[in-house]
Structure 1
Amino acid sequence: MKKHNLKLLTAAICITITTTIRAQVQLSIGPEAGFSAAGLYSADDDVFAGINGHFGGTLHLQFGNYLAVRPSVLFKLGSMTNTDYDDFKISMTRISVPIPVMYSYIFGNNSNLFAGLGPNLMYALSGKTKDGSESRNISFGSNPGQWKPLDVGLHVKGGFQFPGGIAISTFCNFGFTNLANNGDKVKTLDAIGFSVGYMFGGSED
């Protein structure tokens, strides 16, 4: 009998906690697009830099008054030029999935101030190098001479969402993965980026 009552009490507590959490969660979703000052750098002081564009979608999960998670799935594309030799360029098309955990404050007029950081997963779909008139496709894989397709890094983001749903934000990406398989060091860096989005929803779930 006691075990039965304990099970009922445990179930009641779980239901209460779940209901309370659901009552405090606000969800919004929408498109996001923008650009970033993107780059690659190596241990030999080779630096490639350029403006890359991105577009995709963003989800905002608000937990209570101050905590939120704001993941995105973004297609990122563009070229980067060697800062010492402007005929040498690298073009890449990638998927970026930042998952920042944020301080997020919702004002009385339903505007939202947010800032935080979290992991960024970036996966290369294709790439190409161009040296003068000669171009070559980048091969991705784990063999020497290939580039690693997956880049794990840190995403730092902050922004403001207006009452009507328009959101503006700025961010930085720091890649931690050495993309080269041949003993060299090649890492990514988005020095600074900007996004504009429009979020639908925001009502309690």
Structure 2
Amino acid sequence: MKNNFLKPLVLACSSFFLISTASFAQVSVGPEAGFTASGLYDQDANTYAGVNYQLGATAHFQLNHFLAVRPSVLFRAGKLSYEGWDEFKLNRISVPVPIMYSHIFNNNSTIFAGLGPNFMYTLSGKYSYDGITEDIQFGKGEGEMKRMDIGVQIKGGYQFANGIALSTFFNFGTTNLSNVDGQKLRSLDAVGFSVGWMFGSHSSE
């Protein structure tokens, strides 16, 4: 059951990349790596804060002179702690799909900014408290954590003519990850930075 959602998610993302590549006149794809100042916060505003590192691939589909879609598939790993004591370690797959205002300059550099949904799926996790470390249990039961986190990403950046892209982004989760009655646990990336190197074709029109 744990991997039932992951397989169709990966298949859907792969299909989206392939179909879009065949459909649009201007496409670029490449690796992207970065980090985020991240956190999990509860209903009392107690925050587990730390840094997430991410690595994966991004595609840029230029739909017309000013509109683009810039989805990514990223592996994220991070350690989040509360006042140096309790600690979460989470490994996640993140699939943001921001819709962008994207302007291509005469020298082929690009400026882009926009927002869209961000789908995150937790592959594994550990929770540490009082020197004890336990695997996080995922599911719908009491005391278990939800794997799927649906949120929103705001992203902007600049891509140089040689394909190097610098981006900054903000993610906030809308899903309550806790199954405990009266308890809330949501994710937040206060700020993130990434570097990518895009390869692709330009419009033949």
State the TM bucket, normalised to the shorter chain.
Answer: 0.7 to 0.9
8 Å CA contact retained: 1:25, 1:64: no
Which residue identity lines up with residue 146 of structure 1 in the other structure? E
2:52 and 2:157 map into 1 onto residues whose CA distance is 20
Match of 2:184 in 1: 185
2:33 and 2:130 map into 1 onto residues whose CA distance is 31
2:45 and 2:191 map into 1 onto residues whose CA distance is 20
Please give the per-residue CA displacement for 1:119-166, whole angstroms capped at 9, x wherever unaligned: 000000001111132101111111111111000000000000000000
Match of 1:54 in 2: 54
1:36-55 equivalences in 2 (<5 Å): 36-55=36-55
Match of 2:200 in 1: 201
Unaligned runs of 5+ in 2: 1-22
Instruction: Quote the RMSD (CA, aligned, Å).
Output: 1.4
Q: Please point out which of 87, 93, 96 is paired with 2:94.
A: 96
Please give the per-residue CA displacement for 1:89-113, whole angstroms capped at 9, x wherever unaligned: 1110000000000000000110000
1:177 and 1:60 map into 2 onto residues whose CA distance is 27
1:32 and 1:102 map into 2 onto residues whose CA distance is 17
Residues matched between the structures, number: 182
1:1-205 equivalences in 2 (<5 Å): 25-82=25-82, 85-183=83-181, 184-204=183-203
Q: CA deviation at 1:202?
A: 3.5
SS of 1:204 mapped into structure 2: coil
1:28 and 1:63 map into 2 onto residues whose CA distance is 12
Which residue identity lines up with residue 90 of structure 2 in the other structure? M
Q: CA deviation at 1:200?
A: 0.3
SS of 2:202 mapped into structure 1: strand
1:44 and 1:91 map into 2 onto residues whose CA distance is 21
Which residue identity lines up with residue 57 of structure 2 in the other structure? G
Runs of 4+ in 1 over 3 A off after TM superposition: none
Identity of aligned residues (%): 52
1:130 and 1:175 map into 2 onto residues whose CA distance is 23
| TM-score (norm. length: structure 2) | 0.86
- Which has more radius of gyration? 1
| TM-score (norm. length: structure 1) | 0.86
2:73 and 2:131 map into 1 onto residues whose CA distance is 34
Q: CA deviation at 1:192?
A: 0.4
